[in-house]
Amino acid sequence: MCGRYTLKADGRSVAKLFDLAGESREFEIEPRYNIAPTQQVAVVLEDDARERELRMMRWGLIPFWADDPGIGSRMINARAETVAEKPSYRSAFKRRRCLIPADGFYEWKTEEGGKQPYHLRLKDGGPFGFAGLWETWSMEGGEELLSTTIVTTEPNEVAAEVHNRMPVILRPELYDVWLDPGNDERDELISMLSPYPADEMEAYPVSRRVNKPLNDGPGVISPIGG
């Protein structure tokens, strides 16, 4: 699974990577070192005119048919193997796909003495996009709540040393296909949900301070034991 991640990149870098349009190009992004479920996160999606925009959404998908928004806390990830069939995700997979900007994520490895957190990222340290889904849930009174989830897949060789799952990281050349709300080529979309090449990634242990979401400063990504 993916239960925490980072986004330290500035708004300009994010706007360039995801080719954002209009006001989204000026979106201010606060550096985050310990993003946790149920928090508001930056999400990239495409409108019907095929222009990309950045929206803030709650992390933890709330299906449009849900009676209680609390279900979202249990739906922070969607498995690539079943995302097209499961009732909770299939509608969003078909029409409401998104990218979630990040530049690293955390996983926990069971070691002697407890679970040790690791930070995983691209070797160049740059930002990238998780494959995600988003939904609109109607609140009492008519207000809408936007929510999102991260798609996960089998781990590559780097991630497998830490955990048995990893988030799907998409290359920029796949963004157009993934974001297109008019694309319903299921097999093509599913084929994109594969592990990112291990030779372009690295992982290192970090302090257990990351276990608490309130610890959201640069220190939580500092390597330990090196």
- What percent of the chain shows pLDDT beyond 90? 81
- Given a cut of 60, is residue 147 above it in pLDDT? yes
Q: For residue range 164-183, list pLDDT tens digits in order.
A: 999 999 999 999 999 999 99
pLDDT digits 0-9 by tens, 102-134: 999 999 999 887 899 999 999 999 999 999 999
Tens digits of residue pLDDT in 24-46: 888 888 999 999 999 999 999 99
Locate the domains of the chain by residue range: 4-104+125-199
For the segment 130-148, the average pLDDT, to the nearest whole number, is 90
Model confidence at 163, pLDDT cuts 50, 70, 90, reads very high
Q: How far apart are the first and last CA of the chain?
A: 26
Contact (Cβ atoms closer than 8 angstroms) between residue 130 and residue 168:
yes
CB atoms within 10 A of CB 202: 16
How many angstroms separate the CA atoms of 34 and 42, rounded? 14
| Predicted TM-score (pTM) of this structure | 0.96
- Strands 128-138, 144-153: pairing is antiparallel
- Distance CA(9)–CA(129), nearest Å, equals 12
Q: Which residues are annotated as catalytic?
A: 2, 107
Q: State whether CATH 3.90.1680.10 applies to domain 4-104+125-199.
A: yes
